[in-house]
Structure 1
Amino acid sequence: MKLSYLKYILFLLAATRAYGQSATPLTVFLQTPKPAGNSVIRINPVVLMWPYRKGSGITYDVRLSMDSLFSREPVWKARELPGAMYNPHRLLEKGIWYWQYRVSGKQWSERLKFLVPENAVSVVSPAPEKFLGGIPEGHPRILADPGQDFRSFAKRAEALAILKEAEQALSVEMKTGSENLNPKAGRDSLTALQEERRQKDAVVRIGHRIRNTVIPLCQGYLLTGDPRYRDKAIGIAMQISSWGPGGISSQSDFTDGISMYGMALVFDTFHNHLDSEKKAQLIRSVKVRADRFYNHWVNNIESKILSGHVWQLLLNEFFKTALALYGHEDKATEWLSYAYELFLGRTPVLGGIGGGWAEGASYFRMNIDMLVDIPEKIKRYTGFDFIASHPWYRNQADWLIYQVPPGGSADGFGDNTEELSTPPPFFAAYADVMGNLLDDSRFRWYLQKMHELQDFDLATEPVLRWHRLVHPTVSSEKKPGDPPRLRMGRVFPEAGVASLHTDPLHPGHDIMVAFRASPYGAYGHAHADQNTFNVMVDGKRLFFRTGYKVAMNDPHRLGWSMHTKAHNGILVNGKGQPYSIEAGGRIRYFLQGKTLAYVAGDASGAYKSKEKSVDSGLRKFLRHIVLLKPGILVVYDELEAENPAIWSWLIHSLGHMTIDSAGNGYTGRTGSITGTGKLWSSAPLSWSLKNKFDVPAVSYRSSPGKPGKEYSNDQWHLAATSSAPTRVMRFLSIIRIQRDNNQIIEVRELPGSADDAVVIETAGWKISANLSENLPLSLRIGSASEDVIFSLYDTEIKAGNRIFTGQRKHGPKLWESTREGDKLFEAEDFISDF
């Protein structure tokens, strides 16, 4: 059915746009179907998803049509789908579409609809049957195609690193039982969870040993044909196959996954060298584990917002395992079809299309191989290039540049980012591969900058090493990119992160302010840190979140580093945000010019969760962040509660801090870099400064021959707390950032400043803000040269005798006078525009 142009326009005007994010809290499992309502899709075709129904053997039917009655052809139908997800695998015509789903044989759902606009990005993947039909009959399939010879690569740098590891693997003995744990070294006070973690570490180490032996042995054999590598790899695989499927490997899904994949890789790589008995034994042992994963995932994982281990390693291992056994085990067809559909239907998990990554820079490493390996096989067997088709991959270049800048600290959000004082080499490996696959100079520039500012050998980095070695492309290291045109800021609203920079093109001389307000809340490896920020100067951390991820259930992580109190955020009545995906935030506004960049987040729903039966009574929390060149940071907070509350404004530093409670000032230092801040508020404050965690970080995890991590408990924590409960609170903080301790940036309060309003001059900027709840919300910033004016809620901007009025009556506005003329920018509202 053709859609009239008028009807299309009316629908488009009525629809909520999909360029931002919904204000509805997310849940662990999908509770409402999507797309639905007035959704406007961004990817064509859209993947249909709905709440799954628990139960063994549940399947689903779905139908899709431009006819609301499903009576006119074409009506696209699918029956007995194993999971609550459907990919049409064909381009949808522009217009309104209708769809329904049901448990097979039951009643259809309500009629759902969405709109396909003209500008939807085409990502049309082939049906799984085409993928299965492209798989060669012979072996190997995982590391190579049948008949490929890689012996000419044996002298390349990556190959030499692999062969070194293969030689080391020859002397490794695979233990069948759990390893003897290191003694507690007198720490009898470990909790039951800490001791359980130590036991699990021993099981995980078995998996690491399998990974670090079987993979280089198989790769080494393909590079050299050395029978020692073959015989050792086969021996390890047969030993694993003798382990009971309910034994030691099953105590960790990571170890179970690599046990399964290790055997499948040996089966695939040495298929022509195995007798029928060994093949049968490997298939039996692999099948038990693969079936266990499949039965646990199907009709579950496709509806779950995130299952970290699945997307980190297990899906990739499961996909390759099914590929190896395809044609030899009947169930492999089912496994492989499911893995194919799951990957295409949900990738990138937590990323959207903007290039962001919601779970933090450190754990991105665990996903990289999967993000490249599976699309590479799909492209090889079908010709469809998912990486080139999906905009998320190309937009990842900006996420790397802005959130994980070369030579300096990552943004600080998520577990283990405390360890990323500089980007590890796996980011270089990823940038190298993406620079080639997408022919994108931004990835090449990133790699080039990493080499300029850091010392590392890319050839020894195991992430994507085999891919870099066997694909005949020119390394991005030898094909440097031109410097990209980088503006001050970049926002990734779907993931909920952003960063502002004074000079992102030169990360060694750049002030970076990272910000998080994410719809994914405190889930997985993400923290309870909505509307928090971190400040880095020339790559060094000035004001930065504190604490460590000792272990997921460690008392320090649960009682400090994951908690809001460890971050530069807000406490309500001494309480932070609950550990729940429902406790999310949203990037609200974003604006930037040549000398000013601005971002705002909405964490109004971040202090409550039905899942955790928590509600702090907070009803509004908007945080506005403005970075001014050369080095002024402005933070303006709007807070309201249902009842009068005690408010705590927090800021932390890994280095030394001091406070001037009489002058409402504070100072943080790292090396010769100083951040001097002053805090104003709508109510009197009391100040506290300490340099100890509420819950100490204790080192108790270690590996044989390696000492456990040592943790510094001397990080600094400042809290400015309202002296009495108030229902409404406003904070304004201005931070002056200096690279030389002898440099002084003065702050001068101008006539007109009072308790209810502040007018400031500093570093060539005039800043005014209303603080009293009896005054309208207001933040205005103007340059001394009067060529830049920022206004938060004014309906118009006055520049001299001229008045500039935007299309949005109330909302952030930025006016600049440039050589090209006057320009007025208005912030897009990422929530109301979803």
Structure 2
Amino acid sequence: MKKTFYLALLWSAFFVGASAQTNIRLTETTLMHEMRATPYPKDKAVVDDRYVSFQWPLRADANINADILDGMDAKSVRKVDKTTLHYQLRYARDKEFKKDVKQVETRWPFYNPDKDLAPGKWYWQYGYVNEAGQVEWQSTQELTVGDNPKKFCPPSYKEAIAKVPATHPRIWVQKAGWDAFIAQAKPKAEYQWYLERADKVMQTPMKTVKDINTSQVKNLTNQMQINSYLTRESRRIIDAEEGNTEALIRAYLLTKDRKYADEALKRVLEMTDWDKDKNVKGDFNASALLSLCSMAYDSFYELLTDAQKKTLLDAIREKGGAMYKHFNNYLENHIAENHIWQMTLRILTMAAFATYGDLPEAATWTDYCYNVWRARFPGLNEDGGWHNGDSYFTVNTRTLIEVPYYYSNLTGYDFFSDPWYTNNIMYTIYQQPPFSKSGGNGSSHQNVGRPNSIRISYLDALAKLTNNSFAADFVRRTLKVEPEYMKKALLNKPGDLAWFRLQCDKPLPEGPGLTALPFGRVFPETGLASYQTNWDRVGGNAMWSFRSSPYGSTSHALANQNAFNTFYGGKPIFYSSGHHIEFTDVHSMLCHRATRAHNTILVNGMGQRIGTEGYGWIPRYYCSDKIGYVLGDASNAYGKVISPLWLERGKVSDVEYTPENGWDDVPLTKFRRHIVNLGKTGFIFIYDELEASEPADYTFMLHTTAQPMTVDTSNPRFVHVQGLSGRGGASDAYIFSTGTLQTDTTSQFFVPPVNWLRADDKGKFKKYPNHWHFTAKSEKAKVYRFATIINTHALKYPAKDPEILSDGRIKAGGWLISVNVSASGAPSFFIRSTKDDVSITYKGEETVVNENGYVTTMRDVVPDLEI
């Protein structure tokens, strides 16, 4: 369909001739890096919320992403022996490093001083030690340490390791307090959960690697598919047996009943070599076996024969050594090495402390694990967001709780006083309110239909550990509906916190609940935002989420810069589309990760780069209950895929980054998307500024996953698109634009989703459903603007079309909107409420909110980023 939609608003003339814009135009190819490219703290940084940890990039010849190396011809890359790498660090008050200099040598590209630096100005410098033993010093960095008595300063490794008991068990329970732990645990529901599972396991025959289903290998087309399929099928066997055996170990620790120990040990000893089977693939399988060996060694120490101890220690040495070899001089610099962060670092940590003093290598492992946590974890940036999205966030749950909880108990220092955790609670709450769909970012986001039991367990733990009453209210609301909801996570590999609840006797705190929270929150460093209208009743809550992220679309993140999603009653309406079949599956890459899958804009039909190079950012934002505002900038996101990592991944997965598939250079110079949250009305206003160095066309996109959209082009002033939640909610979008739009809708994907990987335990492959896609394509122009009003509401209360007043203003939901959608004049809008004393004005160089007589002026601010 083709029709002209042009709104000549008289008010726009008011801004013609406005002063020159002072917007920040970033020129960096990337804001974040797959591997560290900048020292930390950055030059002239001020650090006042935590101790100083010095970190720096790997030497150039060692700074090769392991994922790339795995896919390259070994002869084309010089492999560096990471065990030979050494660095020097020096820091002092004296810029010339001539007086009172502290100088150390380290084997890793970071250093945590034993004591925090005194307040004031410091200078520091790192250097690479070459083969001749000479130090190649790098540039001097200036640092100011703040005087904050409440800063996060955990004890040094020397202090921590001195407190490791010589006796066993010492990880899941400590020998000295074992009987007291059992007495404390008995009255709790989780005690019975573990025993019920263990008793069932005692009657269940053990499966072996011979039970791995390889029947589909012959039907797969490339090595990526074969490896992924075998990884999944081997995990199906190993994860199940890991859970069964872990239940037996925990049952023994809860009862001291020898029958559980004997059965568990028999199973562990049989499994020690499973990772050598040709059909066992993936680091999660190797880590599962390391976990079982180390937990059996620690938990059954006094029951083991010398031969059994040797067998277990040999297995731990081999598997733990392989993990450390991979982590060493790699993890420290990586933006987000998913599997390591999710599980394998936790497992190596527990194995290291379980065998410290018994296995010589464990001294190095404990040193590394403890110090890399102090340097890098639990999050990259301070805002508490998780750039990989909600589905993969919960895979980190046990790591985020169990590792710092162990360190807290070991040292007596509260590792949860790290301010990141308080912010992360807000991320966990805002990106997925009670009983609601997730914000819709990251791989597999569609699978997260409501906060799962793992997420509730996580909030329960953090509520108790940080005395956070908002998290406690979230948990109480959930358990009121389903009292044993957290049992669903029992023995879940990445997310079971039942053992933590047996260990921790703290009650859920009392205090302000969710209704005391603001209705919106922005996470500028992660590049996320979400706003809603009702914390108290999910059934009446209109919510929207937004992403414009410095992380780009690497890891599990998507190419959805400046994209939004809408929700009503906890269900998605205008929502990101496509299916995550496998990390680099063709459909997953072209129809789930790619920009065409999201509620954002294509330029000349092309999408945003895959990799950190396809980035966005949030220059301005404002949060209050009367009005909210987010500005996202995706001006740098588009173009050819240039990431070496993602080019290699595409090559081995038969993914072609061609113009036909949606990637090419485009003349885009500006794409700024403003979203104004119009109080608690369910209305939002979206304003898109698009500019190019030569005429280009711009495609505005909307998607639904529950029901088809309806499109009405009968009004010459706007396009009306309605999306339905399928559960009594609707979003009505009214799209105004500079000129002619060509609209289209389809229920077909660019590439059909083929389920070649995810069979059920009976070998059946469920089909993936189609989604619905709306596009509105402009004519070619150097300057183009869209203005969109979206009303998200209960379907039983039909939406009314916006009213166009005689002076060109738009009236919608108790708000008056003036906007320039013409290509001439400065980009601008002015919105005010007809009921409250609140307004927002945008004139390009600044955004001004006037709320109850208080004026807030916003100009661009680049978020403070690491890596």
Q: Give the TM-score normalised by the residue count of structure 1.
A: 0.89
1:138 Cα deviation from its structure 2 partner = 0.5
Tell me whether 1:336 sits opposite 2:366 in the alignment: yes
1:401 Cα deviation from its structure 2 partner = 2.1
Q: Given the alignment, which residue of 293, 296, 299 partners 2:326?
A: 296
> Which amino acid is 1:357 matched to?
W
Tell me whether 1:127 sits opposite 2:156 in the alignment: yes
Kindly indicate whether the alpha-carbon contact (under 8 Å) linking 2:389 and 2:442 is maintained by their aligned counterparts in 1: yes
Kindly indicate whether the alpha-carbon contact (under 8 Å) linking 2:251 and 2:260 is maintained by their aligned counterparts in 1: yes
Distance in 2 of aligned mates of 1:553 and 1:178: 28
> Which amino acid is 1:70 matched to?
F
User: Residue in 2 aligned with 1:545?
Assistant: 576
Per the alignment, do residues 714 and 44 of structure 1 end up closer, same or farther by CA in structure 2, a change over 3 Å counting? closer
> Which amino acid is 2:115 matched to?
R
Per the alignment, do residues 684 and 703 of structure 1 end up closer, same or farther by CA in structure 2, a change over 3 Å counting? closer
> Which amino acid is 2:692 matched to?
A
Kindly indicate whether the alpha-carbon contact (under 8 Å) linking 1:210 and 1:262 is maintained by their aligned counterparts in 2: no
Q: Given the alignment, which residue of 735, 756, 779 partners 2:829?
A: 779
User: Residue in 2 aligned with 1:26?
Assistant: 32
Tell me whether 1:372 sits opposite 2:398 in the alignment: no
1:543 partner SS: coil
Kindly indicate whether the alpha-carbon contact (under 8 Å) linking 2:610 and 2:643 is maintained by their aligned counterparts in 1: no
Alignment of 1:404-415 (within 5 A): 404-415=432-443
Kindly indicate whether the alpha-carbon contact (under 8 Å) linking 1:738 and 1:745 is maintained by their aligned counterparts in 2: no
> Which amino acid is 1:815 matched to?
N
Alignment of 1:500-519 (within 5 A): 500-519=531-550
Q: Given the alignment, which residue of 733, 737, 748 partners 2:792?
A: 737
Q: Given the alignment, which residue of 696, 701, 708 partners 1:650?
A: 701
Per the alignment, do residues 706 and 811 of structure 1 end up closer, same or farther by CA in structure 2, a change over 3 Å counting? farther
Q: Given the alignment, which residue of 654, 659, 674 partners 1:624?
A: 674
Distance in 2 of aligned mates of 1:364 and 1:25: 22
> Which amino acid is 1:790 matched to?
I
Per the alignment, do residues 371 and 226 of structure 1 end up closer, same or farther by CA in structure 2, a change over 3 Å counting? same
Per the alignment, do residues 289 and 814 of structure 1 end up closer, same or farther by CA in structure 2, a change over 3 Å counting? same
Deviates more, 1:143-152 or 1:250-259: 143-152
Instruction: Kindly provide the CA deviation profile for residues 654-709 of structure 1, in whole angstroms up to 9, marking residues without a partner as x.
Output: 22201123532211112332222221122311001011211222233346635656
1:122 partner SS: coil
Tell me whether 1:634 sits opposite 2:685 in the alignment: yes
Kindly indicate whether the alpha-carbon contact (under 8 Å) linking 1:412 and 1:418 is maintained by their aligned counterparts in 2: yes
1:557 Cα deviation from its structure 2 partner = 0.6
| Residue segments in structure 1 that go unaligned for 5+ positions in a row | 1-19, 754-758, 795-809
1:619 Cα deviation from its structure 2 partner = 2.1
Distance in 2 of aligned mates of 1:465 and 1:594: 35
1:309 partner SS: helix
1:93 Cα deviation from its structure 2 partner = 2.7
Kindly indicate whether the alpha-carbon contact (under 8 Å) linking 1:408 and 1:508 is maintained by their aligned counterparts in 2: no
User: Residue in 2 aligned with 1:201?
Assistant: 232
Per the alignment, do residues 708 and 113 of structure 1 end up closer, same or farther by CA in structure 2, a change over 3 Å counting? farther
1:497 Cα deviation from its structure 2 partner = 0.8
Instruction: Kindly provide the CA deviation profile for residues 377-420 of structure 1, in whole angstroms up to 9, marking residues without a partner as x.
Output: 212222221112x1111122221221110011110101122011
Distance in 2 of aligned mates of 1:675 and 1:528: 23
Tell me whether 1:305 sits opposite 2:330 in the alignment: no
Q: Given the alignment, which residue of 46, 70, 78 partners 2:97?
A: 70
1:786 Cα deviation from its structure 2 partner = 6.4
Distance in 2 of aligned mates of 1:119 and 1:643: 52
Kindly indicate whether the alpha-carbon contact (under 8 Å) linking 2:231 and 2:280 is maintained by their aligned counterparts in 1: no
Q: Give the TM-score normalised by the residue count of structure 2.
A: 0.86
1:474 Cα deviation from its structure 2 partner = 4.0
User: Residue in 2 aligned with 1:659?
Assistant: 711
Distance in 1 of aligned mates of 2:284 and 2:683: 46
Per the alignment, do residues 746 and 460 of structure 1 end up closer, same or farther by CA in structure 2, a change over 3 Å counting? closer
Aligned identity (percent) is 28
1:198 Cα deviation from its structure 2 partner = 1.9
Q: Given the alignment, which residue of 101, 122, 125 partners 1:97?
A: 122
1:467 Cα deviation from its structure 2 partner = 3.6
User: Residue in 2 aligned with 1:353?
Assistant: 382
Tell me whether 1:563 sits opposite 2:594 in the alignment: yes
1:195 Cα deviation from its structure 2 partner = 4.1
User: Residue in 1 aligned with 2:416?
Assistant: 387
Per the alignment, do residues 250 and 298 of structure 1 end up closer, same or farther by CA in structure 2, a change over 3 Å counting? farther
Ranked by relative contact order (alpha carbons within 8 Å, sequence separation 6 or more), the top structure is 2
Kindly indicate whether the alpha-carbon contact (under 8 Å) linking 1:100 and 1:109 is maintained by their aligned counterparts in 2: yes
1:643 Cα deviation from its structure 2 partner = 2.7
Kindly indicate whether the alpha-carbon contact (under 8 Å) linking 2:435 and 2:451 is maintained by their aligned counterparts in 1: yes
Kindly indicate whether the alpha-carbon contact (under 8 Å) linking 2:343 and 2:396 is maintained by their aligned counterparts in 1: yes
1:331 Cα deviation from its structure 2 partner = 0.7
1:811 Cα deviation from its structure 2 partner = 1.5
2:861 partner SS: coil
Distance in 2 of aligned mates of 1:764 and 1:241: 67
Per the alignment, do residues 72 and 21 of structure 1 end up closer, same or farther by CA in structure 2, a change over 3 Å counting? farther
1:247 Cα deviation from its structure 2 partner = 3.7
Deviates more, 1:653-662 or 1:332-341: 653-662
> Which amino acid is 1:745 matched to?
K
1:151 Cα deviation from its structure 2 partner = 3.4
User: Residue in 1 aligned with 2:846?
Assistant: 811
User: Residue in 2 aligned with 1:213?
Assistant: 244
1:688 partner SS: strand
Q: Given the alignment, which residue of 637, 662, 668 partners 2:723?
A: 668
Q: Given the alignment, which residue of 277, 290, 293 partners 1:260?
A: 290
Distance in 1 of aligned mates of 2:764 and 2:855: 55
2:309 partner SS: helix
1:469 partner SS: helix
Alignment of 1:106-145 (within 5 A): 106-118=135-147, 122-145=151-174
Distance in 1 of aligned mates of 2:602 and 2:320: 46
Distance in 1 of aligned mates of 2:804 and 2:430: 34
> Which amino acid is 2:234 matched to?
V
Distance in 2 of aligned mates of 1:110 and 1:707: 58
Kindly indicate whether the alpha-carbon contact (under 8 Å) linking 2:431 and 2:545 is maintained by their aligned counterparts in 1: yes
Distance in 2 of aligned mates of 1:450 and 1:827: 38
Kindly indicate whether the alpha-carbon contact (under 8 Å) linking 1:702 and 1:709 is maintained by their aligned counterparts in 2: yes
User: Residue in 1 aligned with 2:656?
Assistant: none
Deviates more, 1:248-257 or 1:331-340: 248-257
1:111 Cα deviation from its structure 2 partner = 1.1
1:695 partner SS: coil
Distance in 2 of aligned mates of 1:502 and 1:58: 54
Kindly indicate whether the alpha-carbon contact (under 8 Å) linking 1:588 and 1:829 is maintained by their aligned counterparts in 2: yes
Tell me whether 1:750 sits opposite 2:805 in the alignment: yes
Instruction: Kindly provide the CA deviation profile for residues 250-277 of structure 1, in whole angstroms up to 9, marking residues without a partner as x.
Output: 6210000111111111000000000111
Deviates more, 1:292-301 or 1:187-196: 187-196
1:589 partner SS: strand
Distance in 2 of aligned mates of 1:708 and 1:43: 52
User: Residue in 2 aligned with 1:533?
Assistant: 564
Per the alignment, do residues 547 and 704 of structure 1 end up closer, same or farther by CA in structure 2, a change over 3 Å counting? closer
1:827 Cα deviation from its structure 2 partner = 3.2
User: Residue in 2 aligned with 1:4?
Assistant: none
Q: Given the alignment, which residue of 661, 678, 691 partners 2:734?
A: 678
Per the alignment, do residues 603 and 454 of structure 1 end up closer, same or farther by CA in structure 2, a change over 3 Å counting? farther
User: Residue in 2 aligned with 1:11?
Assistant: none
Distance in 2 of aligned mates of 1:311 and 1:634: 38
Per the alignment, do residues 249 and 373 of structure 1 end up closer, same or farther by CA in structure 2, a change over 3 Å counting? farther
1:169 Cα deviation from its structure 2 partner = 2.5
User: Residue in 2 aligned with 1:762?
Assistant: 812
